[in-house]
Amino acid sequence: MSKTVQLIIDNKSYELPVVEGSENEKAIDISKLRAQTGYITLDTGYKNTGATKSGITFLDGEKGILSYRGYPIEQLAEKADFLEVCYLLIYGDLPSTKEFNAFKENITNHTLIHEDMRIFLDAYPTKAHPMGILSAAVCTLSTFYPESQKQNRSDEAVDLTIQRLLAKLPTLAAWAYKNSIGHPVNYPKNKYSYCENFLNMMFAMPAFDYEPDPVVVNALNKLLILHADHEQNCSASTVRIVGSSQANLYASISSGVSALWGPLHGGANQAVIEMLEKIMVDGGGLMKWINKAKDKDDSFRLMGFGHRVYKNFDPRAKIIKKAADDVLNKLGIVDPVLDIAKELEEVALNDDYFKSRGLYPNVDFYSGIIYRALGIPTEMFTVMFAMGRLPGWIAQWKEMMADNQPIGRPRQIYTGSKERDYSDIHKR
Ligand code: SDX
């Protein structure tokens, strides 16, 4: 007997079904509320509203728990290969050796971009932000593979598009970077792993040989895993709602890239470094900036702090903070910005304003420090986030399509003018 809750409106009682998840989360199913009562619910920013059931990622914001298909993020970040995690998120289970080798082989064979895309990429102004290029380039891929725009695609056709996206995003990202600094692009090489290939395309130059450093490759693999999915965040919800109109997967992913760009979402990793550098140059001490962040009349926020769901430590931030120390030590890098980040964290976590609001460092607070140590430029940080999040966006889209979910179309409460007549302009 499924549980219900009672809702009393104008002295009339309504029974609403309760939905309970595998981790005992509970929701009131309001899918028939308007038909039964004439009422809708209002929840700006969807802070209390579930958009879907999902079996992909579980997170507990109070306990700081995050798992992909039941596997704790700590284990995956420590032991898995990023492409293994892509397979897990998209297809639901960790691959066998045979499945994994076939998956890797397919992706390796699709890393090249059609040469006509070079003309498209070369047309961008130097200094073009790579996220603007990436979002447009991903959507443009759909024009090179028009069969991906058809409805009712076969599983094989969808798998091919998934492989193309996973394979080509690093190439597009590296080419967008090379374009922004006026350097010649590097082509993917099949001898390299996923992360090695990206690093080679980013940093190889005609004048010298480049060999990816294993420390850098391992750190990148870990960062991509930590960013791979995060249930119904802003960009995943964007991918779902665009996909729900039956737009093709390239267009849906392109919309996710755009949503991620915002400084309140994936753009925060770039904003954190810019904030820390500003604090370092300002020399005015940390309390000046902590107080600005607390001042309601000041638009300054502590970037990389706070989270819609985590009201305790973001488990990814813990792992990245340790990885930052490890990578900088192994590479012999001393970055004063890391010291400022640690001091800022220490001061904020002892301040009641942040503690009372459950504001802790999130995934973006330390990630930029590692990207800097890996030689990745600040404007590429959110591109790195997009590369990591791609399998999560694909998995969310695939789950929504498999569920045959209806087109997403929220309601509203109208608060504008009541009916009035048009008047000729000379009478106004
Ligand atoms: C990501 O959703 C996801 O899962 C996202 C993500 C993912 O993996 O996909 O985890 C990735 O986007 C991480 C978040 C990156 N963004 C930032 O670091 C930007 C800084 N953080 C804030 O803008 C904010 O914390 C948000 C946007 C992350 C969350 O905002 P909410 O949930 O809407 O919370 P809120 O704005 O209502 O804040 C609650 C209170 C407010 O104060 P009061 O009105 O209660 O007095 O906390 C304050 C806010 O002013 N507050 C901050 C703050 N964040 C919230 N005050 C100072 N500095 C901050 N960073």
C-alpha span between 74 and 56 (Å, rounded):
16
Encoded amino acid at 175, one letter: W
C-alpha distances in Å from residue 196, one per residue of 150, 169, 199 = 34, 14, 5
Which residues does 89 contact at the CB level (< 8 Å), separation at least 6?
56, 57, 68, 69, 228, 229, 391, 392, 394, 395
Encoded amino acid at 162, one letter: I
364 is annotated as an active-site residue: yes
C-alpha span between 208 and 38 (Å, rounded):
69
The pairing of beta strand 12-20 with beta strand 4-9? antiparallel
C-alpha distances in Å from residue 116, one per residue of 184, 201, 322, 365 = 16, 18, 43, 38
- The residue whose CA has the least distance to atom 4 of ligand 1 is 233
Ligand 1: residue of 234, 261, 265, 295 to mutate (most ligand atoms within 8 A of CB) is 265
Encoded amino acid at 340, one letter: I
Left (φ > 0), alpha (ψ -120 to 50) or beta: where does 92 sit? left
Domain 4-50 has CATH 2.30.42: no
| Range(s) within the chain of domains with CATH label 1.10.580.10 | 71-264+380-402
- The residue whose CA has the least distance to atom 18 of ligand 1 is 304
C-alpha span between 286 and 388 (Å, rounded):
32
CATH numeric code, 268-373: 1.10.230.10
| Range(s) within the chain of domains with CATH label 2.20.28 | 4-50
Q: Is 73 within 8 Å of 89 (Cβ atoms)? A: no
- Take residue 175 and report the two structure tokens written for it: 């080419």
Catalytic residue among 122, 364, 403, 426: 364
- Take residue 221 and report the two structure tokens written for it: 């693999």
Instruction: Looking at the CA of residue 265, tell me the nearest atom of ligand 1.
Output: 12
Name the CATH topology of 71-264+380-402: Citrate Synthase; domain 1 (1.10.580)
C-alpha span between 79 and 102 (Å, rounded):
20
Pocket of ligand 1 (CB under 6 A): 45, 230, 233, 264-266, 268, 293, 301-309, 357, 359, 362-364
C-alpha span between 305 and 312 (Å, rounded):
11
Give 174 Cα–ligand 1 centroid separation in angstroms.
30
Ligand 1: residue of 65, 308, 314 to mutate (most ligand atoms within 8 A of CB) is 308
Give 148 Cα–ligand 1 centroid separation in angstroms.
36
**Per residue of the chain (428 residues), what is the pLDDT tens digit?**
679 999 999 999 999 999 999 999 999 999 999 999 999 999 999 999 999 999 999 999 999 999 999 999 999 999 999 999 999 999 999 999 999 999 999 999 999 999 999 888 889 988 899 999 999 999 999 999 988 888 878 999 999 999 999 999 999 999 999 988 889 999 999 999 999 999 999 999 999 889 999 999 999 999 999 999 999 999 999 999 999 999 999 999 999 999 999 999 999 999 999 999 999 999 878 999 999 999 999 999 999 999 999 998 899 999 999 999 999 999 999 999 989 999 999 998 899 999 999 999 999 999 999 999 999 999 999 999 999 999 999 999 999 999 999 999 999 999 999 999 999 999 88
Catalytic residue among 129, 230, 265, 307: 307
